[in-house]
Chains A and B, each alone.
Chain A
Amino acid sequence: AQSVTQPDIHITVSEGASLELRCNYSYGATPYLFWYVQSPGQGLQLLLKYFSGDTLVQGIKGFEAEFKRSQSSFNLRKPSVHWSDAAEYFCAVPEQGAQKLVFGQGTRLTINP
């Protein structure tokens, strides 16, 4: 079965610093991959998605992610974080043979002023 691992439960960075959130997946073929963001008490918003082609994907709010097949990773990056980026971030991959997404456990991002 597919699985998604986000190794970091909680990350704290200073405002203006760079950010990288890790995501590793297990999948039988080249997967579709997604990153979502969730502010407290809200639903999930899609940040970006990878289907095929260029392995560096640009998303909303200045985020990008790079698909690395050799490492089974799809890490999320941002060059300079803002206080408004404080939220929880989820990586997801579709389950093969089923129309549903498998989510990682999430990484909570805290921004220090």
Chain B
Amino acid sequence: DGGITQSPKYLFRKEGQNVTLSCEQNLNHDAMYWYRQDPGQGLRLIYYSQIVNDFQKGDIAEGYSVSREKKESFPLTVTSAQKNPTAFYLCASSIQRNTEAFFGQGTRLTVV
């Protein structure tokens, strides 16, 4: 079955540590996205990538980093510089501009 896989589903991190969230897709989509979701704030775009080896900052990129070395993979690193990292993180992909995005099941990150 084609789809987007995010792992792990739950992640706990100590303050001051970097952590990497995985996102893999087998839909052959060019574009991939990372969103952050907090209660009452909808979805906010962190980073997006339209093609391998290229990515752009979204609305809340500070404290995050990404890479796009393969078409199928778009990992997100939450660095210690992110002041409030506890949130639900969603990865998505789309085949091209203006088409619908397909979402993974999300990773809930908690900083302890």
Which of A41, A44, A94, A105 is within 8 Å of B103, CB to CB? A44
Q: CA A16 – CA B48 in complex, angstroms?
A: 40
Known contacts A99-B50, A99-B94, A100-B48; A46/B42 CB under 8 A: no
B→A interface (CB under 8 Å): 4, 6, 31, 33, 40-43, 45, 48, 50, 58, 88, 90, 92, 94, 96-106, 108
Known contacts A44-B103, A99-B31, A100-B48; A90/B43 CB under 8 A: yes
> Are B98 and A32 in contact (CB-based, < 8 A)?
yes
> Are A43 and B90 in contact (CB-based, < 8 A)?
yes
> Are B102 and A46 in contact (CB-based, < 8 A)?
yes
Minimum distance in angstroms from A24 CB to a CB of chain B: 15
Q: Output the nearest chain B residue to A92 by Cβ-Cβ distance.
A: B101
> Are B41 and A41 in contact (CB-based, < 8 A)?
no
B-facing mask of A70-113, CB < 8 A → 1, else 0?
00000000000000000000100010000111011110000000
Q: Output the nearest chain A residue to B51 by Cβ-Cβ distance.
A: A99
Q: CA A73 – CA B49 in complex, angstroms?
A: 29
> Are B104 and A43 in contact (CB-based, < 8 A)?
yes
> Are B108 and A105 in contact (CB-based, < 8 A)?
no
> Are A43 and B101 in contact (CB-based, < 8 A)?
no
A→B interface (CB under 8 Å): 9, 32, 34, 36, 41-46, 49, 90, 94, 99-101, 103-106
Chain B residues closer than 8 Å to A44, beta-carbon distance: 43, 90, 92, 101, 103
Q: CA A94 – CA B108 in complex, angstroms?
A: 26
Minimum distance in angstroms from A64 CB to a CB of chain B: 17
Q: CA A44 – CA B53 in complex, angstroms?
A: 26
Q: Which residue of B4, B31, B45 has the most chain A CB atoms within 10 A of its CB atom?
A: B45
Q: CA A46 – CA B48 in complex, angstroms?
A: 19
Q: Output the nearest chain B residue to A45 by Cβ-Cβ distance.
A: B103
Extra inter-chain contacts (13) besides given A44-B43, A100-B58, CB under 8 Å: A32-B99, A42-B105, A42-B106, A43-B90, A43-B103, A99-B31, A99-B48, A99-B96, A100-B48, A103-B42, A103-B43, A104-B42, A106-B42
